């Protein structure tokens, strides 16, 4: 059976990315250009700067992805692109690039839900001679699976009943977990992005008074705004914020970082594990930038009675490979997008990327 090769394009926020993936799993190339340094001076993402950077980077990134895969555009079978959620000005850069590629090559255009892409990052692998490929989550455990997507813009729990069939059962009611990490890091003077900075210094922190947890009893929802406020109050009480001349006490910062990280990991891991038991799923798949946090991964593994599957850190953050992986399953269902596909910044994890306006393609048979 011939391989199905998808070129995935991602520009939903501040990473310009493109990748080539075979049969929804094997990464042939995965090129990502980060804007973290550009936005660090502002303490967060500036949408206008993000979209301008995407315009500058999108063509060389796509060229590099094809080159590293040793392919030309006619060699790919479909062009996949994030159509939402995300920043509208960023999304449109990738979408217009993908439309141009699809039109020039006469290949199917596949709009992809970014959050579903994060879930499908768990299906990916990079070929390594002599290393046996691990089975995909659905092969290892079988459906249904529980997907936890934790990033700078989202904290969602969703049932994955079959490929492409997502049902959201929990969400954040205010700040996303990654957003809370960024804001807490700013209060501690740790810079941007906050997740890696807090994880690094938290490893040096001693025990301290636990920070409050928002459990929101009776739902699978999350809330982190109260925790963020508690960090502000403690940072002020301990002379961390505003930063004094000469900087705050490093031990106090490390202890606060540890307490914050423990609070976030405790709530997310506990509620996710309980949801897995309540809904009788066979495994948990996690994705998104915060999924790279080792404290969260350990807490979830400790609490869960079913396997927990997480991609390597490089695939937790935004990338084109996850978009290509999700698109593979769209293609298998015969889905494709028309050239009137538009960006949809407010998509939820259970939403289709858009209503396809082009006639549905013939469903692709499962390779092998």
Q: Residue 273's closest CA among 283, 264, 263, 259? A: 283
Q: Residue 295's closest CA among 253, 250, 260, 256? A: 260
* Superfamily of the domain at 5-124+315-332: ATPase, nucleotide binding domain (3.30.420.40)
Which 8-state DSSP code applies to residue 346?
A: T
Q: Residue 112's closest CA among 354, 363, 366, 364? A: 354
Where do the domains of the chain lie?
A: 5-124+315-332, 140-310
In this predicted model, what pLDDT tens digit does every residue of 31-88 receive, in sequence order?
999 999 999 999 899 999 999 999 999 999 999 999 999 999 999 999 999 999 999 9
Helices vs. strands in the chain: H and E counts, helices first: 12, 10
Residue 108 has pLDDT above 50, yes or no: yes
Other C-beta atoms closer than 10 Å to the C-beta of 292 total: 22
Task: Answer whether 5-124+315-332 and 140-310 agree in fold.
Answer: yes
How much is the pTM? 0.94
In this predicted model, what pLDDT tens digit does every residue of 311-334 receive, in sequence order?
999 999 999 999 999 999 999 999
The reported pLDDT for the residue numbered 366 is 41
In this predicted model, what pLDDT tens digit does every residue of 136-179 receive, in sequence order?
999 999 999 999 999 999 999 999 999 999 999 999 999 999 99
Q: Which CATH number describes the domain made up of 140-310?
A: 3.30.420.40
CB 220 within 8 A of CB 282: no
């Amino acid at each position: 059976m011939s391989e199905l090769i998808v070129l995935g394009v991602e520009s939903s926020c501040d990473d310009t990315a493109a990748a080539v993936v075979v049969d929804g799993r094997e990464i042939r190339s995965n090129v990502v250009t980060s804007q973290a340094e550009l936005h660090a001076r502002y303490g967060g993402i500036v949408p206008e700067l993000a979209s301008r950077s995407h315009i500058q980077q999108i063509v060389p990134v796509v060229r590099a992805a094809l080159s590293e895969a040793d392919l030309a555009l006619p060699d790919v079978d479909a062009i996949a692109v994030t159509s939402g959620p995300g920043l509208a000005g960023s999304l449109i850069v990738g979408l217009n690039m993908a439309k141009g590629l699809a039109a020039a090559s006469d290949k199917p255009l596949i709009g992809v839900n970014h959050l579903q892409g994060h879930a499908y990052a768990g299906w990916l692998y990079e070929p390594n001679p002599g290393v046996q490929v691990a089975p995909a989550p659905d092969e290892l455990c079988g459906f249904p699976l529980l997907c936890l997507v934790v990033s700078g813009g989202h904290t969602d729990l969703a049932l994955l009943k079959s490929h492409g069939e997502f049902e959201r059962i929990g969400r954040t009611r205010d700040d996303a977990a990654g957003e809370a990490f960024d804001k807490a890091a700013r209060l501690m003077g740790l810079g941007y992005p906050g997740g890696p900075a807090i994880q690094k210094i938290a490893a040096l922190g001693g025990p301290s008074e636990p920070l409050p947890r928002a459990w929101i009893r009776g739902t699978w929802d999350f809330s982190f705004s109260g925790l963020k406020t508690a960090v502000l109050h403690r940072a002020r009480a301990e002379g961390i914020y505003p930063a004094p001349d000469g900087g705050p006490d490093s031990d106090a910062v490390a202890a606060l970082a540890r307490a914050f990280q423990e609070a976030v990991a405790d709530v997310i891991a506990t509620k996710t594990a309980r949801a897995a038991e309540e809904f009788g799923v066979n495994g948990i798949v996690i994705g998104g930038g915060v999924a790279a946090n080792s404290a969260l991964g350990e807490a979830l593994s400790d609490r869960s009675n079913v396997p927990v599957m997480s991609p390597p850190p490089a695939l937790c953050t935004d990338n084109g490979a996850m978009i290509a992986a999700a698109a593979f399953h769209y293609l298998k269902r015969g889905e494709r997008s028309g050239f009137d596909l538009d960006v949809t910044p407010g998509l939820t994890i259970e939403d289709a990327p858009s209503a396809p306006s082009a006639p549905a393609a013939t469903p692709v048979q499962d390779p092998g």
